[in-house]
Amino acid sequence: MIFGSDWDVADLNPLVGLQAAVTRVDKANRFPGGWHPIQRISIAQAIECYTANPTLATRLPQRAGKLMEGLEANLTVLDRDITSIPPDQITKAKALMTIVAGQIVYDESL
């Protein structure tokens, strides 16, 4: 399964997509108990759907989409560990730094 935020169906903020995948509740809270709650996935699975899974589908090298020594880093540092907070709090996380191809492109401290 592949997630993305580049179409008008999904919010550009991937945290919104992650939270929706884990809770199955939309931003308008139309389904407070979750839309088809049986379809909820774990936060780890949702993160893989935004990172590692797309590289497999596009036939990029198997190591792409993972954080490993020797690979170019594309990552965002958040102010909290979204894997250990209540799922309905995922969108409250804030980006502190973003790195693309190993270069800092956003740093909240600057």
| 34-92 residue pLDDT tens | 888 888 899 999 999 988 888 778 876 655 667 777 777 788 999 999 999 999 999 99
- pTM strictly above 0.85: no
DSSP secondary structure letters along 31-74: STT-SSGGG---HHHHHHHHTHHHHHHTT--TTTTS--TTSPP-
